[in-house]
Amino acid sequence: MWLHKAAADGAEIDVTWRAFVLDEINRKEGETPTWEKPEDERGRSLLSLVAGKAALRQGREAFDRFHLAVLIARHDGERIRLDRPEPLLKIATEVGLDADRLERDLSDPALMAEVAADHKEASGTHGVFGTPTFLFENGQSAFVKTFVPPDDEAADALKHLFGLMSERSYIGEVKRPQPPWPKGAV
């Protein structure tokens, strides 16, 4: 949602979204990988990641509308569950996607394989452990724990973050003391 606000404020943003499965990164050694489990045991977000891949098949603009609507519904609205197809199909319809096509694509094993490949690359190659993690063109990366900045600060905050984290490999971690974090932010 932050990137959407920053773009609306004039920031030039070119993002390639990749899937990262939080349930998988928290899986215990020896357990079945999340994407190989039965549907009712796959965790909280795997289906939404597959749905995102399915939405992308309908075009980048369709994906962008769907992705933003899912984020809002999950984090800023109804706090919908992302482990069932019904709310995802409802959102697809609301933002103008072909919901029937999206529903068919949810069953395509190739999309689950894409999600698994994205996750394995993120964790294995880039050391990703949480979201959002930004991977920059120069190979630098940064995990950011944040709330969505106010509308009038979204673009500047993103610019400053990218400038700090994309070019300065000597900055390993920035963290505010807890609790509470961050004092006065919400």
- Walk me through the domains of the chain, giving residue ranges and CATH numbers: 21-126 (1.10.472), 131-186 (no CATH)
SS3 state of residue 143? strand
User: For residue range 117-175, what is the model confidence (pLDDT) as tens digits?
Assistant: 999 999 999 889 998 898 888 888 888 888 888 888 989 998 998 888 888 888 888 77
Predicted TM-score (pTM) of this structure: 0.86
Q: Is the pLDDT at 70 greater than 60, yes or no?
A: yes
- Rounded Cα–Cα distance for residues 133 and 21 (Å): 12
Residue 29 banded pLDDT, cuts 50, 70, 90: very high
Residue 59 banded pLDDT, cuts 50, 70, 90: very high
Count, residues in the chain = 186
141-155 residues labelled b (16+ CB within 10 A) or e (exposed): bbeeeeebbeeeebb
The label of the residue with tokens 């409802």 reads: 90
- Rounded Cα–Cα distance for residues 11 and 80 (Å): 29
Residue 93: predicted pLDDT: 98
- Rounded Cα–Cα distance for residues 144 and 165 (Å): 10
- 135 Cβ neighbours under 8 A, 6+ residues apart: 126, 128, 141
Listed residue (108, 102, 4) closest to 59, CA to CA: 102
Average per-residue pLDDT for the chain: 89
Residue type, 131: T
Residue 183: predicted pLDDT: 60
